[in-house]
Structure 1
Amino acid sequence: MKVKEAMHEGVTWCSPDTPLSEVAKILRDEDIGAVPVGENDHLIGMVTDRDITCRGVVEGSELSSLTARDVMTEGIEWCWEDDDMHEVLHKMESLQLRRMPVMNSEKRMVGILSLGDISHSLAHDQCGEFASCVSAHHS
């Protein structure tokens, strides 16, 4: 199975200068767990609800002044839409990633492969093993 057969197609993304309140609205309105951040036609980061909480709220910053760049996670791993699903799952497991951006041959982000997508594409026992791996405590 190829990644493109399991991934969620289409991506809502933001620029690094997007106010954090707008990022939070995207998460809520799209019912998603992460928003990719792009700049100059490149993926430079991701913002999750956890990033907003742990880097925005907990740090005590004035939330109304924060942008996606202030809380985003950098160094994002991604995969190709034509990659073998099992190889990508192994990579996600080893890095404990619950979601991974998916690029096409033109290096355009065309989707995201998430835990939810995987749960609909794999056998029950495989999905349980994957969820256990990506949810394990970080060492």
Structure 2
Amino acid sequence: MAQKIREIMTGAPRTVGPQTSVVEVARIMRDDDIGAVLVAEGDTLRGLVTDRDLVVRVMSLGGNAEDHSVADACSEQLVSVSPDDDISRAVELMRGHAVRRLPVVEDGRPVGIVSLGDLAVERDTDSALSEISAAEPNE
């Protein structure tokens, strides 16, 4: 059984700059079949944006989505883990902060993302979340 974040995280996360349009971010999510993108300036992590953030923080306002950058949608109050942290640390942070994804940061740089699904696949293999998370994506 995996013990460290680096053993279960998704490495090489997609990152965009804060001025990237939310439409471009939505296309990245669609094309890469992902639900979260990290927002960074250079090597410095500035935020995380999820597909839900795009809907709740931007699309629900109406108007032209092209007028909004990812800075308008991303979560800036980040909680992160290190690749060398124990998996239990991620569980604790997700519970305590009611989040489903954590950026993985090493030496100040984003190096991955760990999700609730990743934890379920590793720790609760008989759960519905584990089965859904391990399944091939819809086409």
Could you say which TM-score interval applies, normalised by the shorter chain? 0.7 to 0.9
Correspondence for 1:71: 73
Correspondence for 1:110: 111
The within-5 A match list for 1:1-139 is 1-104=3-106, 106-124=107-125
Instruction: Give the superposition deviation at 1:40.
Output: 4.1
Return the letter of the residue paired with 1:31: D
Return the letter of the residue paired with 1:116: G
Given the two structures, how large is their TM-score scaled by the length of structure 2?
0.83
Q: Distance in 1 between matches of 2:124 and 2:21?
A: 40
Q: Distance in 2 between matches of 1:40 and 1:11?
A: 14
The structure-2 alpha-carbon separation of the partners of 1:54 and 1:128, relative to structure 1 and needing over 3 Å to count, comes to same
Return the letter of the residue paired with 1:58: S
The structure-2 alpha-carbon separation of the partners of 1:3 and 1:93, relative to structure 1 and needing over 3 Å to count, comes to same
Q: Give the stretch that moved more between structures: 48-57 or 116-125.
A: 116-125
Return the letter of the residue paired with 1:44: R
Q: For 1:79-118, what per-residue CA distance to the aligned partner results, in whole angstroms no more than 9, with x for missing partners?
A: 10000111221111111111101112x2221110012211
Correspondence for 1:134: none
Gap runs ≥5 in structure 2: 130-139
Task: Kindly report the root-mean-square deviation, in angstroms, between the aligned alpha carbons of the 2 structures.
Answer: 2.0
Q: Distance in 2 between matches of 1:47 and 1:114?
A: 13
Q: Distance in 1 between matches of 2:103 and 2:89?
A: 15
* Contact 2:43/2:108, CA 8 A, preserved across alignment: no
Given the two structures, how large is their TM-score scaled by the length of structure 1?
0.83
Gap runs ≥5 in structure 1: 130-139
Correspondence for 1:133: none
Q: Distance in 2 between matches of 1:4 and 1:93?
A: 20
Runs of 4+ in 1 over 6 A off after TM superposition: none
Q: Give the stretch that moved more between structures: 31-40 or 15-24.
A: 31-40
Return the letter of the residue paired with 1:71: A
